[in-house]
Structure 1
Amino acid sequence: MASIRKDGKRWRAEVRKSGQYHSKTFPSKMQAKAWADEIESSIHKSVGKSDYTLKDALKKFLTDISSKRKGHRQERVFLTRLMDTEIASETFKSVTPAHIKEWRDSRLEKVSAATVNREMNVLSAVFQAGIEWEWTTENVVRQVKRPQKPRPRDRRPTEDEIDRVVMALGFDGDVETKQHEIAVAYLLAIETAMRLGEICGIRKEHIHLDERYIALPDTKNGTSRNVPLSKEAVRLIKLVPDGFTITPGPSSVVFKKACKRAQIEGLTFHDSRREALTRLSKKVGVMELAKISGHKDLKTLLTVYYAPTATDLAAMLD
């Protein structure tokens, strides 16, 4: 309880609460009381917030922020898993760089450096939000060294592998099952450089065959783009005139199983994007390539997705 007393011609307010002491003088008793009430309220809030755990912060971030972000499903998996770890029981304010380092090293024993980097991005966002909530005063994740980035993937499917995985999906020209749709999606990805998630989102109203493009209203980088269609891409999209009914997660799993049946190792659906952009680079310049792919960063386009072999480059010299 605050103490308000006369101190000569002024009024002194003293606040003793939760181990804290504050004192100040004012010209009037009313001003002293208002200040004391504000200080008590501030101490009460800070004490309450100091009891919040990292798990509380993860839950709040998941509900208030992550649910509105792209990639929410992947973030939800990570945040939910982290809630069950030992570090999540720590009070949010007491989490140190040492805690983050221990968690990082533990994760590196189970997943790739690229995955840990992505997870650290999310965890950093949690602490940044915590600063805004006044739950903590610093982002400790930023004080921890990130794992060294692995070399960019350069895996591209061969023509033989493309044929084998399409055959493993049971596709022979007619679309009658989900597996057939996935095969068409894969072949379309190789023609257009579209991501699996973008292809799965294609509906009838997005297809403009007369003008030979597909309108993507919502892409990974948050902007819309129109994807031009080759003659082969037009033929493929005609096989699914109402758009696709498949979804990204299950489709990736089915594709992986098809690769296993076809005895293909180390290939992912997303490698089709690298193959497509390398093929398209033989037809258009880098600026047009970025327009097709939706890349805003040309460095990422050239170092991660454009992967011509020496033979490919030699053919361009003739």
Structure 2
Amino acid sequence: MKLPKPRKRGGTYTITISHQNKRYYCTRDTAAECEHWAALKLLELKTQEKIEAGELKPKYTFRDLNDKYFQDVGQWNKSKSSLAWIKGQYKNFEIRFGSLAQKSIYDIKPKDLTIWRNNRLNQVGENTVLKEISHYSAMFTFAQKELFLLDENPWMQITKPKKPKARARRIHPSEIEIMLNALNYEIGMVPVLPQHYVAWGFLFALETAMRRGEILGMEKKDIYDEYVHLPKTKNGDSRNVPLSVEALELLKLIQHDGRRIIPQSENAFRLMWEKRKAEVGLNNLHFHDTRHEAITRMVRIRKLPVEVLAKITGHKKIEVLVNTYYNPDAKDLVEAFKSIEKNKPA
């Protein structure tokens, strides 16, 4: 199509083009700038016309999809912990994917994602990679079913890493002592310094089987005579956690005037924990191992039946509780067996 000639008006130039019975115009300093604008505008209009007719796909990079998904879906996640994780994925997207972030989503193939998966497995564990694959796969499903940009999801065509065997790690009393020493804390001490609150949270987790996020989210108004009420937990439900004598004694040590029991951010708490455990060589100790240890103790010492235990821990699936978090050793099983035999009616 032949471009119209720019018209001079005073000290500037103007040009007008028509497309599909609509007129578009602009004003520039020179005739050449007007012609350049007109050529680009016509190309843009024709491209959009082909896109709307289904003859051409719109330009859409992986990075564009990441932005769109976060704006429309990700940032509206109601779970505080999930939202924090999603924000982390969004913020570190370029670092995660490098040049693949700039690639068109139409050109991303299962081979590209398999290479990414293998590289990522050299950086983090299988569980992390599985979680990330699920997130980015949801992103491409969104492009497929909501934006109608894709015919299929390439993430569904790659082999996922095998889910690693659940941790069955118990915490030895000597490890508790080592961590308390590393955090400069003694049992019965009123916590004052940041490391003291980390130690206090460690001990409280061992008594209650509460998650780190749940402990850090506890407020004084949620503490009752014999239990703590958790208004919102990982699975979205509220629950009540009974408090042992030891847990109640720990709560008496909290003497600050703040709203939350532990006046510390989750990130600061985590970094302190990781730093101190690394200093004493307990790299294989995870804070979440306290949940395994506490649940096993509740069965071994308090003889709690599994249905009661599930209400305390917040597990909706009994098999997850039994197979993942209850970690008895051979001695525990023998003692439980003998206890049942002893109480059988003659």
- The verdict on a shared fold, with TM-score over 0.5 as the criterion, is yes
Judging changes above 3 Å, is the alpha-carbon distance between structure 1 residues 42 and 310 closer, same or farther for their aligned structure 2 residues?
farther
Residue equivalent to 1:136: 150
Mapped partners of 1:49, 1:232: distance in 2: 64
**CA offsets 1:243-298 (integer angstroms, 9 cap, x no match):** 22122222122112222333324101111011011111222111111111111122
- Scaled by the length of structure 2, what TM-score is found? 0.75
Structure of higher CA gyration radius = 2
8 Å contact kept, 2:171–2:293: yes
Q: Provide, for residues 206-258 of structure 1, a one-character-per-residue CA deviation record: whole Å limited to 9, x for no partner.
A: 111x2x11111111111111111111111112222652212222212211222
Of 245, 256, 274 in structure 1, the residue corresponding to residue 292 of structure 2 is: 274
Asked if residue 174 in structure 1 is aligned to residue 190 in structure 2, the reply is yes
**Percent of residue pairs identical:** 34
Does residue 1:214 correspond to 2:228, yes or no? yes
Pick aligned residue for 1:226 from 209, 215, 240:
240
Corresponding residue for residue 300 of structure 1: 320
For residue 87 of structure 1, what is the aligned residue in structure 2?
100
How far residue 64 of structure 1 moved from its aligned partner, in angstroms, is 2.5
| More divergent stretch after superposition (96-105 vs 242-251) | 242-251
Deviations 1:59-82 (A, max 9, x none): 122233222223222222233333
Paired residue type of 1:278: T
Q: What CA distance in whole angstroms lies between the structure 1 residues aligned with 2:193 and 2:53?
A: 57
User: Stretches of 4+ moved more than 6 A in 1?
Assistant: none
| Long gaps (5+) in structure 2 | 1-18, 22-42, 339-346
Counterpart contact for 2:50–2:56, Cα < 8 Å: no
Q: What's the secondary structure of 1:124's corresponding residue?
A: helix
Equivalents in 1 of 2:316, 2:50: separation in Å?
45
Deviation of 1:116 after TM superposition, in Å, equals: 0.7
Q: 2:116 matched to 1:108?
A: no
Equivalent residue number for residue 315 of structure 1: 335
**Post-superposition offset of 1:170:** 1.3
SS at match of 2:151: coil
Give 3-state SS (helix, strand or coil) of 1:94's partner: coil
Provide, for residues 125-155 of structure 1, a one-character-per-residue CA deviation record: whole Å limited to 9, x for no partner. Answer: 1112212122323222122111011111112
> Aligned residue for 1:6?
none
Aligned Cα root-mean-square deviation (Å): 2.4
Q: 1:45 to 1:249 in 2, by over 3 A?
A: farther
Cα distance in 1 between the residues matched to 2:275 and 2:208: 24
Is 2:139 the partner of 1:126? yes
Find the counterpart in structure 2 of residue 247 from structure 1. 265
Provide the residue aligned with 2:171 in structure 1: 157
TM-aligned CA distance change 1:159 to 1:136, over 3 Å: same
**Structure 2 counterpart of 1:62, from 70, 74, 94:** 70
Instruction: In structure 2, give the amino acid aligned to 1:308.
Output: P
Deviations 1:60-110 (A, max 9, x none): 222332222232222222333333412111112322222211211111122
Deviates more, 1:265-274 or 1:81-90: 81-90
Map of 1:36 onto structure 2: none
Which deviates further from its counterpart, 256-265 or 213-222? 256-265
C-alpha distance in 1 between matches for 2:157 and 2:282: 41
Do 1:217 and 1:224's aligned partners in 2 also have CA atoms closer than 8 Å?
yes
Give the superposition deviation at 1:2.
7.4
Distance, in Å, in 2 between the alignment partners of 1:206 and 1:170 is 28
